[in-house]
Structure formats: C-alpha cells, structure tokens
Structure 1
Amino acid sequence: MSLAAKSLAVQPLAPVPTLTEGVAAFQARAYDRALAVFQPLAEAGDPEAQAWLGALHAGGTGVPASLTQAFAWYRRAAEQGHGPAATNVGAMLAMGQGVAQDRAEGARWLERAAASGDVMAAYNLATLLAKGDGLPADPARAADLYRSAAEAGHYPSQARLGHLYAHGIGVERDRVEAFAWLSLAAGHGVGTALNALEEVIKEMSADEKREGAARAQARRTAPGRIAPIPA
C-alpha cells in the first residue's frame, strides 16, 4: 500500500513571532515578551532586531543592564547598514561606553550614519567637530551638520546652529539667522536656546526681529518636514 493512501498526521507549526510583535510588546512594557521575540530574530541576523536587542541591554529592560552587550548588538546591526545602530556605535566609542574609548573610530561610524541621513549622527558628529574632541576641530563642517539636522526638525541642533550664527563660529555672524533658529529651539523647551535668544534680541533692530520671526515661521511650516526627533 502506498503512503499516499494513508492519512498522515501533521504537526502544526507554531507561528514565528514577527518584529512587529516584539516592538508592540516593548511599547506595552512586556519586556520579557519583547526579549523572547527579538533574541532569536537577532541571532538569525535581522539588523532591526539586533538594534532592539541592543536597546534592551542598554536600558536593562527584560535583561540585566549591560553596555558591553548593548554595544555588541548595536555593532552587529550597524555592520549591516542600520543607521541608528551605527549612531549608537559611534557615540559609545566616542564616550567609551561598553567599549574602550576611541573617538576617531567613533567619528568614522558617525560619518557613516550621518551619510545615511540619521539626524542624531549628524548632531553627535557636529558636536565632536565643534569641540575638536578626538579629531581636528572643523567649525564650518560642524555648522553644516547641525544645519542638516536642524532642517529635519531636531531641536538641539537648531539651538546649536543658532549659537553658531550668534557668535560667528563656522559661519558668518548673522543675528537674523540666530534669532530664527534659536526661536524654533526655544519654542520646544530647549532652555539654552531661550537664554541665547534673549542675548541676541538685545542687539537686534525691530526690522531684524520681524525678519527673524518670518524665517522661523517659514521653517516651522515647511512642507515635507519630517517628525522632530527628541534629544
């Protein structure tokens, strides 16, 4: 008798949890469930799951906090082109968190992430370049990077860019531009921006203030602006 004639029992396969389920579990603070979803996906090579697993280790959510483990998982994701993970790798290298400090190597990772459009990478790299922290100072490049993040709606970058315009660091001194960028940042609670804005206003004419306010409003309502990323 052929096997085809028999009725064979088939073991039903359990559905494989998806990354979306893991994210939903994380957002619901069901961290054990999130870990159970992310871990096998990360070990199988999914860069998004690797980045999420790094975040669990960094925050000690669902697992004991370990910056070393966080860095390892972020790096695995970054090596596959995951922009936010590359930003975290660069920042952790620059600060010596979870890995031996290496600002030059951190800057290289931040360059990669910034080139992919990650605004936090642009902000972090600009900060290193503005200070000359571990690499040659380049205020003009820092200003360009802050501008790219500021135009994407990143409030701290708007504050930093306004500061550069107020003092002529890496850019021509421009009170109107300083007013515009500092106004945007101050409007979202960046305290240093409000203090800097008050100092800039003291030197401005009424016409300059009106122009600065108009520029700030135009940037605030620019079409296609991505959602701001909190610092």
Structure 2
Amino acid sequence: MNIATIIRATAILLALLFDTAWAQSFQEGMDAYDRGDYETALEVFQSLAEDGDSSAQYNLGVMYYSGQGVADDASEAVSWWRAAAQQGDSSAQYNLGVMYESGDGVPQDYTEAVRWYRTAAEQGLADAQFNLGAMYNIGYGVTQDYSEAVRWWRAAAEQGYADAQYNLGFSYANGEGVIQDNITAHMWFNIASANGASLGKENRELFADRMSREEITEAQKRARKCMDSGYQDCD
C-alpha cells in the first residue's frame, strides 16, 4: 500500500488587512481597492504605510507583489512586508517566510524562512504553523525533526487546517515523530477528508483495507469526537 506524501503549502497570503486605527482614510483605500481603483488604493496605503501603519504596509506589499496599480516588484513587496513584520504582523511574517523559502524578492535562505515562519507560528497563524512543520519534516533551515513537525502540524490541525490534519494522518501512518498507529492515522485522514483534503479520503480508504471493522469503527468514533470538540479532544 502506497501512502501519498506529505502536503506542503507555500502560497503567499494576499487577502488585504483592515486597520481601525486609521479607519476613515484606511476605508477609502479599501473601498478604492474593492472597486478596482488600484491607483487610489495604492496612494492611500502608501501614505499610511509611510506613517508607520502595519496593515497599510502589509497591503502595500500585496499590491506590489500582485502588480495592482504598480508594476509587480517582489523586492518592494518584501520591503513593505518586512516593515509590517517588524511591528508584529503575523501575515507579513509568514509572507517573508515564503519569500525566503522560494527565493522570491530575496536570496533563498531556508534559515531565514524558518525564523519568520516560527515568529508567525508562535502568534498562532495556522499557515505558518503548517509550513514550519514542513520545514522540520524535510530538514530545510533546521535539523530534521519529525516530532517537531508533528507538534506544529497539530497546532494547525487544532485550528481546522485540513492539510495539517492530513499530514498528521501521514505521520501516524508511517510512524514519523509518533508511534505508528493505524487507528489514529485513519482518524486524521477522515477528519482531513471531511474538511476538503482529497488525499485524506484516498488514504483513509487505503487504510481501511488493512484494518478490522472494529478498528475502523473506533477511528470513525474518535474522528467525530475530535471534530465535535473543535479539535481539542483528539487523543
């Protein structure tokens, strides 16, 4: 039986943030952005960003990265995300991690990628927790450590992150970072499948072929309990 590999995510977060501290001016920028008037949105966000507003800095980075109202410029996006990240913006911190991992707008540097993923992950950002787990699983920028991978994937899984739930199933299926456990693997594949991870369904069905009916029933029971508890009672 071949179990599909772990899932990795490196997508940049491009949803704009809203900051109530500068509500009226910021809303003008958001309204302009929503109607496709990127030139006005860029002007508003640029002014607020230069005054130190972290959400405007983040949004300005999004616009430079996407080429909205300005020529796309990954280096400029990094510059503004760095400014927001240094003020504690977790989405900007995560995006810096992605940029360093992929070498987009900066020289590729896995150690820096891990640093920024960790900073965002410790603030509770599920995307960052997921990618940090992947870095530990592969050994990019850190010493390979399956147990640490599982720890961070569990943190993301407990927020309902389907790909992290799938990867936990993979870890239990293969005994990587945890004691190999078919029932727990099936449970996490089941949960991931319910949350839209297609590989979760595929691997759950593969696992059913080597489990007894009683074991499958137990795995399904535990999956329901885990989901009903908001992913807080999954042991």
Shift of 1:108: 1.1
Q: Write the letter of the residue equivalent to 2:74.
A: L
* Residue of 174, 177, 189 corresponding to 1:170: 177
Name the structure 1 match of 2:192.
185
Q: Distance in 1 between matches of 2:190 and 2:26?
A: 39
Report the secondary structure of 2:106's partner residue: coil
Name the structure 1 match of 2:30.
23
* Residue of 161, 182, 187 corresponding to 1:154: 161
Q: Distance in 1 between matches of 2:225 and 2:101?
A: 36
* Residue of 196, 199, 223 corresponding to 2:203: 196
Distance 1:34 1:177, change over 3 A: farther
Q: Is the 8 A contact 1:95 1:101 kept in 2?
A: yes
Distance 1:79 1:172, change over 3 A: same
Name the structure 1 match of 2:134.
127
Q: Distance in 1 between matches of 2:153 and 2:231?
A: 19
Q: Distance in 2 between matches of 1:96 and 1:122?
A: 20
Q: What is the RMSD computed on CA atoms of the aligned residues?
A: 2.1
- TM-score computed with the length of structure 2 as normaliser: 0.82
Name the structure 1 match of 2:102.
95
Distance 1:39 1:168, change over 3 A: same
Q: Write the letter of the residue equivalent to 1:87.
A: Y
Q: Write the letter of the residue equivalent to 2:44.
A: V
Q: Write the letter of the residue equivalent to 2:125.
A: D
- TM-score computed with the length of structure 1 as normaliser: 0.84
Shift of 1:104: 0.7
Shift of 1:82: 0.6
Deviation sequence 1:92-126 (CA, Å, 0-9, x none):
11221110111111111111111111111111111
Q: Distance in 2 between matches of 1:27 and 1:102?
A: 35
2:118 paired with 1:72: no
Q: Is the 8 A contact 2:160 2:231 kept in 1?
A: no
Shift of 1:180: 1.7
Name the structure 2 match of 1:10.
none
178-187 or 17-26: bigger deviation? 17-26
Runs of 4+ aligned residues of structure 1 deviating over 6 Å after TM superposition are none
Aligned pairs, number: 211
Shift of 1:28: 4.1
Q: Is the 8 A contact 2:49 2:60 kept in 1?
A: yes
Unaligned stretches of 5+ in structure 1? Answer: 1-14, 226-231
Q: Write the letter of the residue equivalent to 2:184.
A: E
Q: Distance in 2 between matches of 1:222 and 1:22?
A: 40
Distance 1:20 1:221, change over 3 A: farther
Distance 1:62 1:222, change over 3 A: farther
Q: Distance in 1 between matches of 2:224 and 2:28?
A: 40
212-221 or 88-97: bigger deviation? 212-221
Report the secondary structure of 2:104's partner residue: coil
Structure showing greater relative contact order (alpha-carbon pairs closer than 8 Å, 6 or more residues apart): 2
Deviation sequence 1:105-155 (CA, Å, 0-9, x none):
111111111111111111111111100123210100000000000010111
Name the structure 1 match of 2:39.
32
Q: Distance in 1 between matches of 2:25 and 2:231?
A: 31
Name the structure 1 match of 2:68.
61
Deviation sequence 1:136-184 (CA, Å, 0-9, x none):
1010000000000001011111111111111111111112221121112
Q: Distance in 1 between matches of 2:103 and 2:50?
A: 25
